Amino acid sequence: MTRAVLQAARDLLVAREFKAARALLTTIKDDPTAQDWLAKLAAFVPPEPEPARAPARENWEFCDLYAYAEMNSRGKPTGKIVLVFSAYQPEGVQTARQVRELSPVDEEGNHRDIIGEARNFAKMYLAALGREGWQLVGLLRDGQAEPGVYYLRRPLLE
């Protein structure tokens, strides 16, 4: 068995398939020839470092932030801006809802950009989350009108 593995490893070395040869040679740890070839291979072609892996999902907590401007039956903003924050933690889901009410018309009689106000409100909330260690990992928008759903994560606090 060992002779066949050594012959296969030799063929791989001749073909310059160093990674495959190294993997094959490490399967026969008690053979001195295999250990000698591994040492020479390490000097000639150092092993590649392990690729960085994403942290395991259980080391993170996730949340989403849904921001929208409430609309009336005619599709016009009512002046209510709603933020719904949901944090998904090992203990369960925590949800918080904030509502900011604005008049659709400012003091001068001009129509307010309620959608823009909703975006600004979401940005302020996102900035506060960033200061708490949350990282933005995704954004889902249902058209340009709505601020959208923001997906965030942060390392679990010990």
pLDDT for position 12? 82
- Mean pLDDT, range 68-91, rounded to an integer: 82
Confidence of residue 68 (pLDDT cuts 50, 70, 90): confident
pLDDT for position 131? 92
Rounded Cα distance between 74 and 105, Å, is: 17
pLDDT for position 93? 84
3-state secondary structure 65-125: EEEEEEECCCCCEEEEEEEEEEEEECCEEEEEEEEEECCCECCCCCECCHHHHHHHHHHHH
- Mean pLDDT, range 38-66, rounded to an integer: 75
- Count of C-beta atoms within a 10 Å radius of residue 57: 8
Task: Express as a percent the part of the chain with pLDDT over 70.
Answer: 87
Phi, psi of 15 (to 5 degrees): -80, 5
Rounded Cα distance between 64 and 53, Å, is: 24
Rounded Cα distance between 70 and 57, Å, is: 34
Q: Which two tokens stand for residue 21?
A: 């040869």
Average pLDDT, the chain: 81
pLDDT for position 53? 59
- Mean pLDDT, range 31-45, rounded to an integer: 85
Confidence of residue 50 (pLDDT cuts 50, 70, 90): low
